Amino acid sequence: MANFTRQYNQLLTPEGRISKSLIRPRNIYRIVTYKDAEPATKSGENSRYVFVIGRLQDRIHCIKINPIKPLDFTKFLNRIRDKKKAFKDEQYLDELLKDFTKDGKSLFETYIKPNPKVYSSTLANYRVYLLKNIVNCWEIKFEKEVLQKLFSEETQTITQQRDTIQNEINENDG
């Protein structure tokens, strides 16, 4: 299975450490240390980047995005983007997306489950994490310019969108 962690490492910055109690649906997180996992701590190529679908009591339901091509994940985000919501500095991703139930069931059933590029048995990327077992978690916050580039669906072709993502990766390599 392909792993696009290196590309995500470069795209998903800046990030800041947060308390597990502050994890919000429809945002992206990097879960570094998870008790009772083998190994408990994962970093570098093995980092756990997750898009939180929903939160139900003491659990978060997620899609691990590492095996998803960044372009496919960006297309998915564009499908759930609420175009009436404006861009701001240091913005949470969920502030730009459509509203869904807190448990994430409607998001999963309508947009994730039918999309084989985001969720499938071959990707094996659906995850449920117990909040009590999350030790170290980092939240991804996006700069206004990066969000505007990612969400410029109407003005960009797929090729331009791919180039934008590649340029972001290349800028961070140099």
SS3 letters across 1-34:
CCCCHHHHHHHCCCEEEECHHHCCCCCEEEEEEE
In the block, residue with structure tokens 């797929």: 158
Is residue 142 domain-resident? yes
Domain range enclosing 134: 5-150
Q: In this predicted model, what pLDDT tens digit does every residue of 50-96 receive, in sequence order?
A: 999 999 999 999 999 999 998 899 899 999 999 899 888 777 889 99
More confident residue, 39 or 114: 114
Q: In this predicted model, what pLDDT tens digit does every residue of 20-30 receive, in sequence order?
A: 999 999 999 99
* Structure confidence at residue 88 (pLDDT): 81
* Structure confidence at residue 89 (pLDDT): 77
Is residue 105 domain-resident? yes
Residues 6+ apart with CB under 8 A from 97: 26, 77, 80, 81, 82, 85
The answer to whether 137 touches 11, Cβ cutoff 8 Å, is no
For the chain, what's the residue count? 174
Is residue 169 domain-resident? no
* Structure confidence at residue 40 (pLDDT): 81
More confident residue, 28 or 14: 28
Is residue 87 domain-resident? yes
* Structure confidence at residue 39 (pLDDT): 80
Structural domain total, the chain? 1
Is residue 140 domain-resident? yes
Is residue 174 domain-resident? no
The Cα–Cα gap between 150 and 58 comes to 32
Is residue 159 domain-resident? no
Is residue 171 domain-resident? no
